[in-house]
């Protein structure tokens, strides 16, 4: 279709909803057709799904609901329990805001049912408020996540890079939201972006909005959305100190400050994380005097803004030793109950089962095959050389004795007749 024809078409919500009714995904937090959505489940899922995949969220969502079945139970829970249930999902400020939001909702008696009321809750931004308002309360509001951004920038061929394009994307999405079934529409656009309008190789032939899609008509759909090139963060390094108590293998832990990266989470004591951290002086940062052993390899973890490398030191301490001020020993069997983020779980796992870094392949041309080993080969320097003798030549067999021969088997064979020397060729004298 020519671009001029595509430009006069406009995406219709009815086309998308017809597709959604046939192909909607069944998700644990999504109400089935005919069911009323639960605002608590909608809110919880939307917070968990921020910057996290559906596959990663599903088990956490089920475990969270089992532990905190409603907003009142979540509000009454200690912060440590909430952080422990969240451990592994990352972006831990979401868990702190989740707990604060639950307390606010419990105090009010229910979730507010308007966009403005939802925006006033702790940790609820424009996207989450729009999603809850549309899905849980049927408000005609737009919910714009990464999937929706991709769909809309392709539909209208928006050349402005993200994040500068986001106000225009929100305006265009809001204009598409129908007055009826706004919740289904919000989920339909998300499903479209997740299943058909994917970042690479979108299935345009199956898309209900293929005809009005401007990027599709131009053949540039895979180039949207436009994004500014990310500047990689400066790597940081540090040391982690895992003190293991003899007897119960309890691990020394502390709680990080409530604000900042990994706020209110548990960790083995670590040094500062700096680009120029000197591991050779790491023992100056150790939390207590002990015989610290540096383990081979490092623990690597990538945060949003920078990659991190931690060198792990391990020490065994006596059963009667007291933890330093502000720290605690947690038995190994109870570590699952601690709010340990993913990077600290890696550190502890490395401390109990250290693994050296895999050898890197040498650069340049591969060396030639040295060929077969020599006859004198050393296979183990501790055992000394082992000899691999050369095979003996097959001995000549003696002539078989006959009845006419009076010699036995031990009789040496008669000497071979002497060869006649060949005369040199030449002229006769």
Active site residues: 46
Of 95, 46, 39, 102, the residue nearest 73 (C-alpha): 102
Residue 312, C-beta contacts closer than 8 angstroms, at least 6 positions apart? 239, 240, 242, 294, 295, 298, 299, 347, 350, 351, 354
Apex 18 CA angle, 12 and 21, nearest 5: 140
d(Cα 133, Cα 198) in Å, to the nearest integer? Answer: 26
- Residue 176: CB atoms within 10 A of its CB come to 19
Both tokens of 232, joined, read: 């990689």
How many angstroms separate the CA atoms of 315 and 297, rounded? 17
Per DSSP bridges, beta strands 327-330 and 299-302 are unpaired
Provide long-range contacts, Cβ within 8 A and 24+ apart, for 170-176. Answer: 170/126, 170/142, 170/144, 173/142, 173/144, 173/148, 174/141, 174/142, 176/11, 176/13, 176/142
Around Cβ 65, how many Cβ atoms within 10 Å? Answer: 18
Q: What is the DSSP string of 225-239?
A: S-BPPPPPPPPEEEE
SS3 state of residue 254 = strand
Judged by phi (left if over 0) then psi (alpha if -120 to 50, else beta), residue 53 lies in: beta
Question: Rounded CA gap, 183 and 37, in Å?
Answer: 9
Strands 251-255 and 266-267: antiparallel
Token representation of residue 204 = 């345009």
Number of Cα atoms under 13 Å in the Cβ half of residue 133: 25
**How many Å apart are CA 364 and CA 387, to the nearest integer?**
35
Phi, psi of 379 (to 5 degrees): -100, -25
User: Hey, how many other C-beta atoms are within 10 angstroms of the C-beta on 16?
Assistant: 22
d(CA 62, CA 60): 5
């Amino acid at each position: 279709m020519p671009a001029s024809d595509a430009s006069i078409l406009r995406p219709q919500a009815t086309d998308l909803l017809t597709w959604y009714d046939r192909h909607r995904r069944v998700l644990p937090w999504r109400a089935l057709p005919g069911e009323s959505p639960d605002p608590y489940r909608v809110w919880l899922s939307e917070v968990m799904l921020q910057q996290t995949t559906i596959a990663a969220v599903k088990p956490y969502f089920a475990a969270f609901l089992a532990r905190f079945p409603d907003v009142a139970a979540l509000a009454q829970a200690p912060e440590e329990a909430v952080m422990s249930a969240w451990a592994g999902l990352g972006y831990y400020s979401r868990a702190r805001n989740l707990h604060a939001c639950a307390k606010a909702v419990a105090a009010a008696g229910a979730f507010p049912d308007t966009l403005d009321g939802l925006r006033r809750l702790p940790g609820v931004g424009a996207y989450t408020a729009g999603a809850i308002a549309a899905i849980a309360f049927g408000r005609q509001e737009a919910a714009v996540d990464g999937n929706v951004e991709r769909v809309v920038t392709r539909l209208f061929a928006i050349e402005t890079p993200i994040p500068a394009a986001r106000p225009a994307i929100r305006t265009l999405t809001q204009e598409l939201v129908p007055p009826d079934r706004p919740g289904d529409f919000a989920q339909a656009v998300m499903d479209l972006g997740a299943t058909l309008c994917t970042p690479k190789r979108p299935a345009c032939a199956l898309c209900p909005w293929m005809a009005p899609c401007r990027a599709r008509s131009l053949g540039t759909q895979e180039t949207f959305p436009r994004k500014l090139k990310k500047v990689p963060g400066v790597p940081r390094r540090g040391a982690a100190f895992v003190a293991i108590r003899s007897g119960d293998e309890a691990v020394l832990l502390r709680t990080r400050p409530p604000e900042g990266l990994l706020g209110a989470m548990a960790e083995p004591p670590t040094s500062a994380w700096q680009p120029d951290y000197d591991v050779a002086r790491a023992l100056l940062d150790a939390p207590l005097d002990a015989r610290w052993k540096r383990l081979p390899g490092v623990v690597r973890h990538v945060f949003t803004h920078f990659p991190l490398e931690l060198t792990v030191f391990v020490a065994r301490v006596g059963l009667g030793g007291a933890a330093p001020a502000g720290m605690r020993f947690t038995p190994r069997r109870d570590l699952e109950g601690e709010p340990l983020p993913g990077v600290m779980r890696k550190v502890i796992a490395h401390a109990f089962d250290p693994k050296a870094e895999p050898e890197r392949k040498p650069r340049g041309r591969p060396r030639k095959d040295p060929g077969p080993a020599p006859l004198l080969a050393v296979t183990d320097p501790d055992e000394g050389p082992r000899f691999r003798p050369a095979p003996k030549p097959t001995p000549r067999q003696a002539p078989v004795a006959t009845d006419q021969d009076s010699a036995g088997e031990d009789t040496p064979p008669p000497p071979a007749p002497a060869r006649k020397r060949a005369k040199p060729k030449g002229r006769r004298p």
